[in-house]
Amino acid sequence: MTKDRNLEIARLQKEIGGYIGMGQDSLMFNFEERDKLTKLFLITLNPKHNQSFLFQSTEGVDKLDALAAMLDYVRTYKERTSSYTIQWSARGDNGLQTSYFRAKNIMEALDKLFYDRDPNSITVFSVMLNPMT
């Protein structure tokens, strides 16, 4: 019996969400075909401030391979990344927002904040490396 690829994709997406503690309503799995590879962009959705951010990107030979790479990443990302707090405000909004990112360095944390948006649409007030726990 052959596996249904769509069921396997759904299973992997659910497992990934479980590792990062977010449900399907808070995650988007965006796939792009690039140079015979499939790139997966895992996006988090925050209904509190109505924004989305990049969690991580991976690639593989197809969707299943890219999802398997993402699952490998989420299983150990806390041991391989640092935690950052970024305080920011959206243009035209007077409220200060606080978001948390896991990244290798400050630049990667900012890249995740600014992913797929106009850099002038957000003002960053502070970026802080959180203490290791």
Same domain (yes/no): 74, 94: no
Q: Is the pLDDT of residue 112 over 50?
A: yes
Same domain (yes/no): 61, 5: yes
Same domain (yes/no): 125, 98: yes
Tokens of 31: 């796939």
Closest CA to 20 of 37, 39, 38, 45: 45
Q: 91: domain CATH number?
A: 3.10.20
Q: Which residues lie closer than 8 Å to 65 by C-beta, 6 or more apart?
A: 38
Q: What is the per-residue pLDDT across 27-43, written as a single tens digit (0 to 9) for each? A: 999 999 988 999 999 99
Q: What is the per-residue pLDDT across 40-66, written as a single tens digit (0 to 9) for each? A: 999 999 888 888 999 999 999 999 999
Structural domain count of the chain: 2
pLDDT band at 70 (very low <50, low <70, confident <90, very high): very high
Calpha distance 132→81 (Å, rounded): 10
Q: Which residue has the tokens 């991580």?
A: 56
Q: Which residues lie closer than 8 Å to 12 by C-beta, 6 or more apart?
A: 64, 67, 68, 70, 71
The domain in which residue 25 lies consists of 1-80
- pLDDT for the residue 95: 87
Give the percent of the chain with pLDDT over 90: 74
pLDDT band at 4 (very low <50, low <70, confident <90, very high): confident
